[in-house]
Amino acid sequence: MPTQAHARADGAVAGSETRNAVDVRLSGVRKAYGDVVAVERVDLEIARGEFFTLLGPSGSGKTTTLRLVAGFERPDAGTIELGGADVTDLPPYARDVNTVFQDYALFPHMSVAQNVEYGLKVKGIERGERRRRVEEALEMVRLAGFGGRKPGQLSGGQRQRVALARAIVNRPRVLLLDEPLGALDLKLRQEMQIELKRIQQEVGITFVYVTHDQEEALTMSDRIAVFSVGRIEQVGPPAEVYERPASEFVAGFVGVSNVLERDAVRFTVRPEKVRLLAEGAEPGPGAHVETGRVRSAVYVGMITRYLVELDAGGELVVIRQNLETSSAEVLEAQGRRVRLEWRPEQTVVLEESEDTKEEE
């Protein structure tokens, strides 16, 4: 499987000439710190107006890639373009981008309005225009009327909105977001995911978002680039990345997936695609069938998660919605013999990653 992902403005981002334009292009980008290669041979195109997510575990190269686009780091090889212009050697202030960080980086002694206005003031924008744009940005992030408050008087979610308003008020070509929701609790993070997507759609700015959270990526993105050890494993719309993972790494990192090997073929099937039946049940026509014993069953409110030890070797995680299932019934399932089945089209054959091929 190729590690160099040439992402086109199609699928979820097609539909207009504007969106077919490329706002960010990386060509053969490489960055190393001594003997450690952080980014290796990355080719990537991000369409104008796209919400594009760089997803991967710690150390996968996603944050370094964002910093290269921002200009905080310079590549050892390759080029970086913004809106068709080569910015590889330009400093951050000369690039038409803004960055939102996890720690917000607000000035505590300034009011909310002064924080949002700061970048406009530095650029020499006329006072009346500054105030108009600040009010517009605060209204966009649903903080109208909060301009006179200090950051210390706000909740974490509100401070994140201020940081976002400060970034979009400058109307950059590209907004870079480095795990901006990481410091928020789960409920607030989920609310902010919806808000971020709404804001991005309203302002029409290209968002390049870095996260290690698969749910965030699947929830907000037009497309996702999955990073592993400095390379891109797969680029595509969320549904494609989830339903048709291009490698075992993607299958395991984006959501939960089962990996089995039968007749020298490795494949994956998602837990929610597998039907769990009584041992004597008749399988559906053409279904892939496995038999085994329930090793554990965990009741998780809306769903139950089963771990089934297969007679032919290996294990399968199976997820069932608790439509009419009680926690007592779940406990009784442990140790039972069962039959599992899924449709052939729900089986995804896994290709080797480039790293595996190189080792061979």
Domain assignment of residue 124, yes or no: no
Rounded average pLDDT over 98-114:
88
User: Residue 354: is its pLDDT beyond 90?
Assistant: no
This prediction has a pTM of 0.85
Q: How confident is the model at residue 280 (pLDDT cuts 50, 70, 90)?
A: confident
Characterise 340 by phi-psi region: left (phi > 0), alpha (psi -120 to 50), beta (else). Answer: beta
Residue 7 pLDDT greater than 50, yes or no: no
Average pLDDT over residues 43-49: 96
Whether the predicted pLDDT of 49 surpasses 80:
yes
Instruction: Say if residue 241 is in the same domain as residue 282.
Output: no
Residues 245 and 265 in one domain: no
Residue 25 has pLDDT above 50, yes or no: yes
Please tell me whether residues 337 and 203 are part of one structural domain: no
* Band (261; pLDDT cuts 50, 70, 90): very high
Report the number of distinct structural domains present in the chain. 2
Element (H, E) at 332: helix 327-333
The domain boundary, picked from 250, 275, 297, lies at: 250
Q: Helix, strand, coil: what percent of the chain each, to 5? A: 30, 30, 35
pLDDT of residue 352: 60
Range of the domain at 273: 257-349
> Are 40 and 30 a contacting pair, CB within 8 Å?
yes
Alpha-carbon distance of 48 to 58, in angstroms, equals 27
Q: Which of 199, 222, 250 is the last residue of a domain?
A: 250
CATH number of residue 276's parent domain: 2.40.50.100
Burial of 297 from C-beta contacts in 10 A (0-12 / 13-18 / 19+): buried
Q: Residue 321: what pLDDT?
A: 87
112 in a structural domain: no
Same-domain pairing of 60 and 186: yes
pLDDT at 237: 97
Read off the pLDDT band of 6 (50, 70, 90): very low
Compute the average pLDDT of residues 177-190. Answer: 85
Please give the average per-residue pLDDT across 243-254, as a whole number: 93
- Position 44 pLDDT exceeds 90: yes
The answer, yes or no, to whether residue 184 has pLDDT greater than 50, is yes
Q: Give the pLDDT band of residue 254 (cuts 50, 70, 90).
A: very high
pLDDT for the residue numbered 85: 95
Residue 229 lies in a domain: yes
Read off the amino acid at residue 26.
L
